[in-house]
Chains A and B, each alone.
Chain A
């Protein structure tokens, strides 16, 4: 893929301070995702290039701005403009960047026309249609530099908060209308108020950065790109509820996120933004990063608390709520990464600013992660109330392989499948609930005609049944019973009454499970049955999978008219299932065929039929 260089517009100019005493600022996006695309190597190439060219430049490591579909990202800015974002960089073409930039300045870009396409960033809908607030500087500032965070107005929020009373801070958050971005959408201010009103000698503020949904990575992206914003938000929460100890619960599988948060904590402590007597306010607050063993159930507050206490991550019945009895039985308030990032901005810019965008009951912006069969996958920040259509077609660019998008799975494994006829619904907490899905963390998996909805339901149930903590009966056993049934259906052994069985058992699991994991895990099954019942019926009655995903229902055959007897399939079949009859007819022995599809891929004449 060739490099696309996006020219940033005038109003996206970086603050002058970010150039330090240099003329240029070069920002290499290094985060967990770009590391897999050799971003470290790219950084070294540019570093060398800078020396070779004797450029007066500040080279900064930054996070990822969310354009996952065109990693690796490198941005080059000159203090008096221009500012160009280069995408699709790899170690082979990285040396072109600086040359191009210099030539661009001197109006001599024709040299690169074949290799580098230049566009205006405001014409790129993926970027232009976003309302970037918490992501504004993610991908442009150095996550290891407290100074850079301060240069973009960081810690203004905390400063303001400390000049207010704790009640004042809580009221500010309350009136902003911010709701928890981690799943259920509980009003953040209300949650703080409960914790504030609990009387205790010790309280705890916790940031849940465990992010376990398949297809959701906004928390990692935000924390890797702007860790101080999270720490600032958590500190404000601590001040508001009266806690002097905070924890950030990070998945051990995300070591870079943990490292950046830990570095940020150390730096914030050194500069007096954490520790004793923060900014001479008499408020003291300390934060510790806890590495989690990685359990989806830790999205449930009480399970996460158990895990921090060193116990097995299992939820307990509520009440008592963590606000009165949480970590070590002390009042505890828990918010996720994205919520706390919003908190920093609400305190900085005011609650009115926050609630300017959003829908009636869901204010502000939300980061969604677009994954699945979508042309432009990545993380985007849009106001709540944006339609699904705008998200996946206008911003995401539609399906990745040209096939028709039939549904999106929103809210991860606890969410639901929303069919295309509802794509004009505005995305907020209430509308999603009315459709049988949940906001969850905001993962959005795009499903096309080439996805089998029964298989999708099976996939998510495999995940939730394996992640069930095993404590309560409906979740532990019920989900497995459902999974077994779905496996039977996708194997062609389903019966017509299985659909009612799935619905009935789902209702009981939702109605009687202990925590939100069980209460929401049947959603993908219920919504796929509701909106795509015909696919279930096809699997059960006709033993057919229209998306050709459920391998047990497929039959591979050779179209004798097209077959040129080149023998490529015979050589490549891993189970030697393709045999030659005496009359030199090649056929697939159905008893041996393991339905891997290799023959179909290797056949140069398209002679393998699937039915």
Chain B
């Protein structure tokens, strides 16, 4: 039983559960205090001091996010003393922040702006002083703009507490404090695996994706043929950046893409299908052994294993990333509507929710020669905002045509599809209960099935912290198929997704995907003739497996 405590907020008496923070109590009773360094799922450090409130009997103002309620507490959220201090603290933050809002991808979706509006801070009385610490551009996927950074520490906690990567932390003291990598050597020289969770939790745009569209434009100007591979999630979620609810898709995404010069567009399903069939066949080969197969589709997980579990590299699947396979299909001329392209003038762009892919395409086994650039859903939305593009129309989910591999977008979806395909190759049917077991909001999911009398464990994890736990004990699971995803709940929570990408957003996104999958008539990838033939052609051209070592 939860015990209750009596507290008074702004003169009214309430009963709230014991042990919660003052901030939680304030929210519970329907009141508001602004917050900045507080973020769902992360520990409370009380760093920014925006959420300070007055508690009777306390000498100083207390951070509501980090102070637990106690019986008889009398709390005031909006006294002149609180207002004055809160405004001054916000002014302090604002006075150090580089206000280049007109160039900032978060303009209009910026938490600092929102708090300034809510506190009526229309001018800053403290002198404005940007530290001119520059930008860290050592990573191909993520940059840190130190002058935009307000040192709230959310990215640090996301990177350490959720992802257990510890790529960034505070460095230097006092006024010179930076959020940066060890020895300030840059993200590209650190443990960073480019998952991009930091970019999702950043309240401003201090740590953000590295944009690639300028390169695309330059190549367009130089008369290259740009083919775009678009992830179906783009159409589903880009609307969130324009205030459409997560339940809706965008009708005319191609019209927009064409308006910015991207003429040839294909969906990413073909690559996905081939990668799923490929993994199913790999899995078939280890069925009666005692081996473990880890899906290598998530580029951040791939980096994570390389950096933290190098001894597990041999367990990785050799199937190329699905977007790379799609690009290879284009290059080999295996796609119907793209037969007549000039190979020497071909450049391939991928639009995806993934930031780590920006890094992955440059790995020695791809060399940037197959897929040339990646832009995220969020970057695409920024382009639309900059162009003031207004022609997006809503598409109801039931009218959204999709394929079974859409399920790959959620954590557990790939494992389900791979197992289903494997069973179908073997002439069996999957137990539909497996879908429920694997495709839900949980961080870790595990089950086992029997194939021809032998047991196969299936482990699924999302967020790198959960992946780490699986990897630490991986030897106990064999034989197993393991699907690891760096981002919370899989690609629907990807580093390049629209902001906010909170738990409630992700929950709706998962429900959407499951609904879409449910509405598909032919749910089999293997039993589709087109996929089978495409797989066979791709196999013959040797574009399914990576060339060389990880």
Q: Do these two chains really belong together in a complex?
A: yes
Say yes or no: is B61 at the interface (Cβ < 8 Å to chain A).
Answer: yes
Min distance, Cβ A128 to any Cβ of chain B, angstroms: 40
Say yes or no: is B84 at the interface (Cβ < 8 Å to chain A): yes
Query: A466 on the interface (CB 8 Å rule)?
Result: yes
User: Closest Cβ of chain B: how far from A214's Cβ, in Å?
Assistant: 16
Q: Does B430 make an interface contact (CB < 8 A)? A: no
B136 to chain A, nearest CB (A): 18
Please, which residue of chain B has its CB at the minimum distance from the CB of A481?
B126
* Residues of chain B contacted by A505 (CB below 8 angstroms): 88, 126
Q: Are B92 and A473 in contact (CB under 8 A)?
A: yes
Across the two chains, which residue of chain B brings its CB closest to A463?
Answer: B174
Give the distance in Å from the alpha carbon of A481 to the alpha carbon of B48 in the complex: 17
Contact of B170 among A471, A514, A519 (CB under 8 A): A471
A471 touches B45 (CB 8 A): yes
Q: Quick check: A514 and B47 within 8 Å, CB to CB?
A: yes
Closest to B179 in A: A470
User: For residue B184, which residues in chain A have a CB less than 8 angstroms away from its CB?
Assistant: none
**Secondary structure dominating the interface of A:** helix
CA distance A465 to B46 in the complex (A): 19
B67 within 8 A of A: yes
Of the candidates B68, B93, B169, B172, which one forms a contact with A473 in the assembled complex, judged by CB atoms under 8 Å apart?
B93
Bound-state Cα–Cα, A479 to B174, Å: 9
CA distance A67 to B175 in the complex (A): 38
Contact of A476 among B67, B68, B127, B175 (CB under 8 A): B175
A202 contacts the other chain (CB 8 A): no
B129 to chain A, nearest CB (A): 8
Given A465, A468, A472, A481, which contacts B47 in the complex, CB threshold below 8 Å?
A472
Contacts of A472 in B (CB 8 A): 46-49
Tell me if A312 and B169 are in contact (CB < 8 A). Answer: yes
Chain B CB within 10 A, most for which of A469, A477, A505, A513: A477
Across-interface contacts of A481 in B (CB, < 8 A): 92, 95, 126-127
Residue A484 is within 8 A (CB to CB) of chain B in the complex: yes
Chain A positions 463-492 with a Cβ under 8 Å from a chain B Cβ: 465-474, 476-481, 484
Q: Is the CB of B151 within 8 A of A476?
A: yes
Can you name the residue of chain B whose Cβ is closest to the Cβ of A510?
A: B60
- Of the listed stretches A314-322, A443-451, A550-558, A565-573, chain B binds A314-322
A306 to chain B, nearest CB (A): 11
Q: CB of B422 within 8 A of chain A?
A: no
Distance in Å: Cβ of A171 to nearest Cβ of chain B: 27
Residues of chain B within 8 A of A477, CB atoms compared: 92-93, 95-96, 175
- Residue of B at shortest CB range from A488? B127
Scoring B residues 65 to 104 as 1 if CB is less than 8 Å from chain A, else 0, what string do you get? 0111000000000000100110011001101100000000
Q: A278 within 8 Å of B by Cβ? A: no
B49→A512 contact, CB < 8 A: yes
Q: Are the CB atoms of B46 and A317 closer together than 8 Å?
A: yes
Q: What is the CB-to-nearest-CB distance from A326 to chain B, in angstroms, rounded to a whole number?
A: 17
If A512-B60, A513-B49, A514-B47 touch, does A478 touch B174 (CB 8 Å cutoff)?
no
Q: Are B68 and A319 in contact (CB under 8 A)?
A: yes
The chain B residue with its CB closest to the CB of A465 is: B174
User: CA–CA, A534 to B173, complex, Å?
Assistant: 34
Is A607 an interface residue, CB under 8 A from the partner? no
Q: Which of B22-65 contact A (CB under 8 A)?
A: 44-50, 52, 60-61, 63
Task: Determine the residue in chain A with the shortest Cβ distance to B86.
Answer: A512
Q: Does B278 contact A (CB under 8 A)?
A: no
| Bound form: Cα–Cα A511–B129 in Å | 23
- In the complex the two chains form, what is the Cα distance from A509 to B45 in whole Å? 17
The distance from the CB of A496 to the nearest CB of chain B, in whole angstroms, is 16
Q: Answer yes or no: A508 CB below 8 A from chain B CBs.
A: yes
From A316, A317, A468, A480, give the contact of B67 (CB < 8 A). A317
Q: How far is the CB of B152 from chain A (nearest CB, A)?
A: 9
Contact B47 A467 (CB under 8 A): no
- Cα–Cα, bound, A316→B43 (Å): 11
Q: A474 touching B49 by the CB < 8 A rule?
A: yes
Residues of A within 8 A of B496 (CB): none
- B65, chain A: closest CB distance, angstroms: 9
- Distance, CA A474 to CA B52, complexed state (A): 12
- Establish whether residues A470 and B177, one from each chain, have CB atoms under 8 Å apart when the complex forms: yes
Tell which of B60, B93, B173 touches A467, judged by Cβ atoms closer than 8 Å: B173
Tell yes or no: A266 within 8 A of B by CB.
no
Q: How far is the CA of A498 from the CA of B96 in the complex (A)?
A: 20
Q: Which residues of A contact B173 (CB under 8 A)?
A: 295, 466-470
Assembly CA distance A480 to B126 (angstroms): 11
Asked whether B66 lies within 8 Å of A508 as measured between CB atoms, the reply is no
In the bound complex, residues from chain A placing their C-beta under 8 Å from that of B412 are: none
Contact A465–B68 (Cβ < 8 Å): no
Q: Closest approach, in angstroms, between the C-beta of B248 and any C-beta of chain A?
A: 39
- Nearest-CB distance from A346 to chain B (Å)? 29
Q: Would A508 and B175 count as touching, CB distance under 8 A?
A: no
A residues in contact with B176, CB < 8 Å = 470
Query: How far does the alpha carbon of A1 sit from the alpha carbon of B168 in the complex, in Å?
Result: 56
Are B48 and A473 within 8 A (Cβ)?
A: yes
In the complex, how many angstroms separate the beta carbon of B92 from the nearest chain A beta carbon?
Answer: 4
Query: B89 contacts A508, CB within 8 Å?
Result: yes
* Residues of chain B with a CB closer than 8 A to A165's CB: none
B153 within 8 A of A: yes
- Decide yes or no whether A2 CB sits under 8 A from chain B: no
Is B151 a contact of A512 with CB atoms below 8 Å?
Answer: no
Which residues of B lie under 8 Å from residue A469 when comparing CB positions? Answer: 170, 173-174, 177
Q: Does any Cβ of B come within 8 Å of A504's Cβ?
A: yes
Residues of A within 8 A of B52 (CB): 512
* Closest Cβ neighbor of B172 among chain A residues: A470
- Establish whether residues B153 and A471, one from each chain, have CB atoms under 8 Å apart when the complex forms: yes
Q: Judge whether B85 and A512 touch: CB under 8 Å.
A: yes
Cβ contact within 8 Å between A474 and B170:
no
Beta-carbon contact of A470 and B170 below 8 Å: yes
CA–CA, A318 and B533, complex, Å: 64
What B residues does A510 contact at CB under 8 A?
60
On whether the beta carbons of A512 and B95 are closer than 8 Å, the reply is no
Determine which residue in A317, A467, A508 has the highest number of CB atoms from chain B within 10 A of its CB, and name it: A508
Which listed residue, B47, B68, B92, B129, touches A471 by the CB 8 Å rule?
B47
A479 to B60, CA, bound (A): 17
B175 touches A465 (CB 8 A): yes
Contacting residues, chain A, for B81 (C-beta < 8 A): 511
B-contact 0/1 string along A128-171, CB 8 Å cutoff: 00000000000000000000000000000000000000000000
Cα A477 to Cα B60 with chains together (Å): 19
User: Within the complex, what minimum Cβ distance (angstroms) separates A153 from chain B?
Assistant: 41
In the assembled complex, which residues on chain A have CB atoms less than 8 Å from the CB atom of B175?
465-466, 468, 470, 476-477, 479-480
Q: Please report the C-alpha to C-alpha distance between residue A527 and residue B66 in the assembled complex, in whole angstroms.
A: 31
Most buried by A among B61, B84, B174, B175: B174
> Which of A507-524 touch B at CB < 8 Å?
508, 510-514, 519
Contact across chains for B177 and A514 when beta carbons are under 8 A apart: no
Closest chain B CB from A507 CB (angstroms): 8
Measured in the bound complex, the distance between the Cα atoms of B173 and A468 in whole Å is 6
Please, which residue of chain B has its CB at the minimum distance from the CB of A475?
B174
Contacting pair B170 A512 (CB below 8 A): no
Cα distance A472–B44 in the bound complex, in angstroms: 12
A474–B126 Cα distance when bound, in Å, is: 13
Q: Which of A314, A319, A466, A511 contacts B60 (CB 8 A)?
A: A511
25 A-B residue pairings within 8 Å (CB atoms): A295-B173, A314-B170, A317-B63, A317-B66, A317-B67, A465-B174, A468-B173, A469-B170, A469-B173, A469-B174, A470-B170, A470-B173, A470-B176, A471-B151, A472-B49, A476-B174, A476-B175, A481-B92, A505-B126, A508-B84, A508-B89, A511-B85, A512-B61, A514-B49, A514-B63
Chain B residues at the A interface, C-beta cutoff of 8 Å: 44-50, 52, 60-61, 63, 66-68, 81, 84-85, 88-89, 92-93, 95-96, 126-127, 129, 151, 153, 169-170, 172-177
Q: Which 4 A-B pairs have the closest CB atoms?
A: A470-B177, A317-B66, A317-B46, A477-B92
Q: What would 13 more interface pairs be, CB under 8 Å, given A511-B85, A514-B47?
A: A317-B44, A317-B45, A317-B66, A319-B68, A466-B174, A466-B175, A470-B170, A476-B151, A476-B175, A477-B175, A479-B175, A484-B129, A512-B61
- A: residues with CB less than 8 A from B are 295, 312, 314, 316-317, 319, 465-474, 476-481, 484, 504-505, 508, 510-514, 519
